[in-house]
Amino acid sequence: MNRLIYLILSVILILANPLFSETINGTITGKITSAATGEPLPGASIMVDGTPRGTSSNIDGTYKITNVPVGIHIIKVQLLGYLPATRTDVVVNSIHPTEINISLYESPIQTQGLIVIPDYFDRTTDSKISTQVQSNEEIRRLPGAFEDVVRAISILPGVAQALPGRNDLIVRGGAPSENLYLVDNIVLANFNHFGTQGASGGPLSFVNLDYVDATSFSTGGFGARYGNRIS
């Protein structure tokens, strides 16, 4: 009877001892590297599946997870730009740390497509400060214009003819070759019949006034897309 009481008391003392009542834990260490280059990968998330234990890899790719319950666990690793990795059957004991080195493979980051909408920003229009518009009827009625759109421009302020009877226009003192002619935004090197090579004038414009709705003449304030022209 005394022996039985002694045995029961011994069991109670063993269970009450903190050394026996605490859960036995272990440690997991290792290094996270790139499978392509072998370089260390910092910032990777390492978690022990089914437990709150986890950590992140250091600048040199190493990591250390402490207080992991002794047993067999699953390790999961994630890092942005890499495929997630899982290591199963990781045995953790209390005698020595368990070393688990894991290599990650790169994965392209999938993003949603971008939609480019034209004319999102307001288009900057050319200044109209130095622009004069002549309608078809105004050109037809101008004295001395002979229904010629270029001669109609030559009578405007700041414009002169290089030679009488020719449509070589001098605009604000510039050379006739510095003028730019556009028909429906199409550049024409010379707007006139019998033009001289390298010049922009001639005796008479070849544009029939019946096909002209209006003309727009600018002596400045236009955009850079027109190049080194002064009018």
CATH architecture of 131-222: Beta Complex (2.170)
The pLDDT score that the predictor gives to residue 4 is: 46
Report the distance separating Cα 142 and Cα 145, nearest Å.
6
Task: Note the pLDDT of residue 222.
Answer: 64
| pLDDT of the residue at 228 | 64
Residues 157 and 171: their CA atoms lie apart, in Å, by 9
Burial of 167 (0-12, 13-18, 19+ CB in 10 A): buried
Q: Where are the domains of the chain?
A: 24-104, 131-222
Q: What is the pLDDT along the chain (231 residues), one digit of tens a residue?
A: 555 444 444 544 444 454 444 568 999 999 999 988 899 999 999 999 999 999 999 999 999 999 999 999 999 999 998 999 999 989 999 889 999 999 999 987 777 777 777 665 566 555 556 778 888 888 888 887 788 888 888 788 878 777 777 777 778 777 777 777 888 878 777 777 776 666 667 777 777 888 888 888 877 666 666 666 665
**SS3 call for 17:** coil
Residue 83: Cβ within 10 Å count: 12
Q: Does domain 24-104 have CATH number 2.60.40.1120?
A: yes
For residue 100, the surrounding DSSP H or E stretch is none
Nearest-angstrom CA–CA distance, 212 and 144: 18
For residues 79 and 77, what is the distance between their CA atoms, to the nearest angstrom? 7
pLDDT at 111 (0 to 100): 74
What local confidence, expressed as pLDDT, does residue 227 receive?
A: 64
Tell me, yes or no, if the pTM score tops 0.75. no
